């Protein structure tokens, strides 16, 4: 935006200002190529920037160390449970969540892109290594499954497994997996066993148009949640709470390890 204003100003005073225009074009090039030649030259950089924005890298110096993470996570336990299975449903369970996803959320809280005053305070002092260690610890814990409301299971299950074609809602399963395990590589979070109250709160906030950050990744759930009715949200949240990961623990552990 700043570049644009500068460029607009520059074109007003264009006469005799060729030199300064050239200088400005050069400054502006990394953000917005000013000429075809420059556009060509900066394409690989721009493409890399887009790829990075889609799936932001979470590159700590060393891989996350779950043992170091356990000590660092003690402070988180007050709300999220010492093993990541929070008992108060307003706090999300972190147990069994993918390490890559936990790190990304901590970065979003720290930068203020995902807005929450409590988590802003908790994430701010953490270094990238702290984040990786804490994430490794919680990812290793086992999610304690919850119980779905029997009156909502059929509607919630249908939405989760099939979506709703007429309303333009894709099956949640397509990204979050049939058993709610998610997809660490794509940063699609683990949902199985998550508190319905928390899921409902997140989906409702997205429904009203508050994304976590910018870019195509953040837009995915905003679009989907925008199409969910209040009844859809209640049903699918309850279904998620009762969802179990139907795979042996060893497979789960290797899926998590592969993500790191």
Choice from 34, 64, 66, 80 touching ligand HEC (CB under 6 A):
80
Interacting span for ligand HEC (CB under 6 A) from 34-42, 117-125, 139-147, 245-253: 117-125
Residue with tokens 């887009």: 50
155 touching ligand HEC, by CB under 6 A: no
Answer for the pair 160, 193: CB distance below 8 angstroms, yes or no.
no
68 touching ligand HEC, by CB under 6 A: no
Spatial separation of the C-alpha atoms in residues 57 and 236, rounded to whole Å: 30
Q: Which two tokens stand for residue 196?
A: 């319905």
34 vs 234, which CB is nearer to ligand HEC?
A: 234
3 vs 164, which CB is nearer to ligand HEC?
A: 164
Spatial separation of the C-alpha atoms in residues 180 and 41, rounded to whole Å: 43
Choice from 58, 221, 243, 255 touching ligand HEC (CB under 6 A):
221
Residues in the chain: 260
Choice from 159, 234, 243, 255 touching ligand HEC (CB under 6 A):
159
CB of 131 to ligand HEC, least distance (A): 7
Q: Which two tokens stand for residue 29?
A: 């090039």
238 touching ligand HEC, by CB under 6 A: no
196 touching ligand HEC, by CB under 6 A: no
Query: Would you report the helix, strand and coil content of the chain in percent, each value rounded to 5?
Result: 60, 0, 40
Identify any residues that bridge with 164 across adjacent strands, giving them in sequence order: 169
236 touching ligand HEC, by CB under 6 A: yes
Considering only the C-alpha atoms of the chain, give the largest distance between any 2 of them, rounded to a whole number of Å.
Answer: 76
179: how many CB neighbours lie within 10 A of its CB?
16
Give every CB contact of residue 65 below 8 A, 6+ residues apart in sequence: 132, 133, 136
Spatial separation of the C-alpha atoms in residues 42 and 29, rounded to whole Å: 8
207 touching ligand HEC, by CB under 6 A: no
Interacting span for ligand HEC (CB under 6 A) from 8-16, 59-67, 90-98, 247-255: 90-98
146 touching ligand HEC, by CB under 6 A: no
> Binding residues for ligand HEC, per CB under 6 A?
75-76, 78-80, 91-92, 94, 102, 105-106, 116, 118-119, 122, 134, 159, 169-170, 172, 174-176, 187-189, 191, 194, 199, 202-203, 212, 217-218, 220-221, 224, 236
């Amino acid at each position: 935006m700043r570049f644009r204003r500068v460029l607009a100003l520059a074109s007003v005073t264009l006469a005799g200002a060729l030199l300064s225009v050239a200088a400005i074009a050069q400054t502006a090039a990394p953000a917005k190529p000013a000429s075809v030649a420059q556009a060509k030259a900066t394409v690989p950089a721009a493409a890399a920037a887009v790829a990075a924005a889609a799936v932001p890298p979470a590159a700590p110096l060393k891989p996350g160390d779950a043992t170091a993470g356990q000590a660092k996570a003690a402070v988180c336990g007050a709300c999220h449970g010492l093993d990541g299975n929070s008992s108060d449903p307003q706090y999300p369970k972190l147990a069994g969540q993918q390490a890559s996803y936990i790190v990304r959320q901590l970065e979003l809280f720290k930068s203020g892109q995902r807005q929450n005053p409590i988590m802003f305070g908790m994430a701010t002092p953490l270094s990238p290594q702290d984040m990786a260690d804490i994430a490794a610890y919680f990812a290793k814990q086992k999610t304690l499954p919850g119980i779905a409301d029997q009156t909502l299971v059929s509607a919630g299950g249908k939405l989760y497994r099939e979506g709703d074609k007429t309303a333009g809602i894709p099956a949640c399963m397509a990204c979050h997996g049939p058993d709610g395990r998610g997809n660490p590589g794509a940063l699609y979070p683990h949902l199985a066993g998550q508190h319905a109250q928390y899921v409902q709160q997140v989906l409702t906030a997205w429904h009203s148009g508050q994304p976590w950050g910018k870019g195509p990744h953040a837009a995915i759930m905003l679009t989907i949640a925008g199409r969910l009715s209040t009844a859809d949200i209640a049903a699918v949240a309850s279904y998620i709470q009762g969802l179990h990961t139907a795979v042996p623990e060893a497979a789960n552990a290797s899926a998590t390890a592969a993500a790191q």
